[in-house]
Amino acid sequence: MEEKITYRKIIHIDMDAFYASVEQLDNPSLRGKPVAVGGGEERGVVSAASYEARKFGVRSAMSGIIAKRNCPELIFVKPRFERYKEISQKIRAIFNEYTDLVEPLSLDEAYLDVTENKKGNPSASLIAKEIRQRIKDELYLNASAGISNSKFVAKIASDINKPNGQKTIPPEDVIAFLEELPIEKFYGIGKVTAAKMFSLGIFKGSDLKFKTEEYLIEHFKNAGSHYYQLVRGNFHSSVKPNRERKSVAAEHTFVTNLTSEVFMLEKLVKISEELERRLIKSKVAGKTITLKIKYSDFSTQTRSKTLPYFVKDKGILLETVKELLYQEKVLNSVRLLGISVTNLNIHSKKQPEKPINVQLKFEF
């Protein structure tokens, strides 16, 4: 009898420079030119950049001033989130023709579990190619895809042949792929963690795999055990079509840096009012309130407090962030303040995952 093993066929679809591409689609005069969405104001920040702009080092989350310095010909356009949401819904409709197991990460990317799909197509790679072609034909936009047996590897793979490409990492190649993968390419390992790993002699997956679980826990606490399992291909996260919202937030970047807590408190009044509106619209409340402070040197500090009850009232939000603000002296002049609410009153009944048995060697 032929051996069987439990696999999943996961696709990660990632739209290419989505916001900027939509702007170029709707305004032909922008096509082929370096475009940045957002960042046009004096203290603006780039939300997205076209590939023409990326050639000059323009990236999302970059200061508009720095972006313009890198690319003097850069064209700034104001974001139109309703338009992006409209197109995102059309993309989602295409996904749903193939599977109901769609987990959106944002307006421009999602995971699809196509192990059992509506088209009866055994090849996840061919499904990804077909979906990308439909997005191109119907919406005139490019998408890239990664295909593998886990969300983790599929997401990494989707970035390999960008833009307008795809990469399949079949199950039998996953371990070798992870061993050769530069540690900074591991999804979830940011710059700070990567720098720490470099200092410990961990530069790629094989170096990480060489370390014991105890060693990784010692240096990375609970995340160490996660890294230990990850590099060995032990993936447990399934595609969740009904992702729970984990936070609601509001923030504001200021034209002039704030140097006094009194001025900051004035701004926090308006931010708390906006956050209350968003909580009411989302029909949620939360227990944990976090104050975010971004300083003029772009360093960020957060201060949090968890209450014994769920809140969404602007008065309670303001009183809590006021306490957090005066908890300790600010370190520098402040360019951004934000308030977020987590630990939300959202409850879901987790359904047991249905095991899927497929042939060990199958078309991927």
DSSP 187: T
CA–CA separation, 10 and 180 (whole Å): 21
End-to-end CA distance of the chain: 22
Report the DSSP beta bridge partners of residue 253. Answer: 336
Which two three-digit tokens encode residue 360?
Answer: 């060990």
Q: Minimal CA–CA distance to 240: which of 347, 100, 361, 144?
A: 100
Q: Return d(Cα 340, Cα 115) in angstroms, integer.
A: 37
Decide if 149 contacts 174 (C-beta within 8 A): yes
Structure tokens at 50: 């076209």
Cβ atoms of residues 37 and 25 within 8 Å: no
Which of the residues are catalytic? Answer: 109
- Distance separating alpha carbons of residues 211 and 175, to the nearest angstrom: 16
